[in-house]
């Protein structure tokens, strides 16, 4: 039964891990992002604090999930801060 839960943990983390990647990819491709500030702050902050929370537990599926999402949110933030006519808010 432990293997079942381990597989579920890795599958769930993999699914959640890819959530921010499409927006990060589009931000790089377009040179800007349309994601609103409140979403960037909430998603980025949530990912960061959950990463800190799971780090001492050494829950590797979640550490990988939150780590990848933090990197993706960093890309999105970079393109949000970039001077571009579409980034007004």
Residue 29: give its domain's CATH number: 1.20.1280.290
pTM as predicted: 0.82
- Give the closest residue to 19 by CA, choosing from 78, 55, 50, 65: 65
Q: How many CA atoms lie within 13 A of 19 on its CB side?
A: 14
**Cα 1 to the chain's mean position, in Å?**
30
Q: How confident is the model at residue 85 (pLDDT cuts 50, 70, 90)?
A: low
8 assigned to some structural domain: yes
- Residues 11-17: what's their mean pLDDT? 87
**Cα 54 to the chain's mean position, in Å?**
15
Domain count, the chain: 1
15 assigned to some structural domain: yes
Domain that holds residue 54: 2-81
CB distance 69 to 47 below 8 Å: yes
pLDDT digits (tens, 9 = 90+) for 32-78: 999 999 999 999 999 999 999 999 999 999 999 999 999 999 999 99
69 assigned to some structural domain: yes
- Residues 4-22: what's their mean pLDDT? 89
């Amino acid at each position: 039964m432990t293997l079942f839960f381990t597989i579920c943990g890795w599958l769930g983390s993999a699914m959640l891990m890819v959530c921010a990647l499409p927006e990060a990819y589009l931000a790089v491709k377009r040179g800007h992002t349309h994601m609103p500030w409140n979403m960037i702050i909430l998603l980025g902050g949530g990912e960061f604090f959950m990463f800190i929370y799971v780090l001492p537990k050494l829950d590797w599926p979640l550490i990988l999930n939150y780590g990848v999402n933090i990197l993706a949110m960093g890309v999105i933030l970079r393109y949000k801060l970039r001077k571009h006519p579409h980034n007004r808010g």
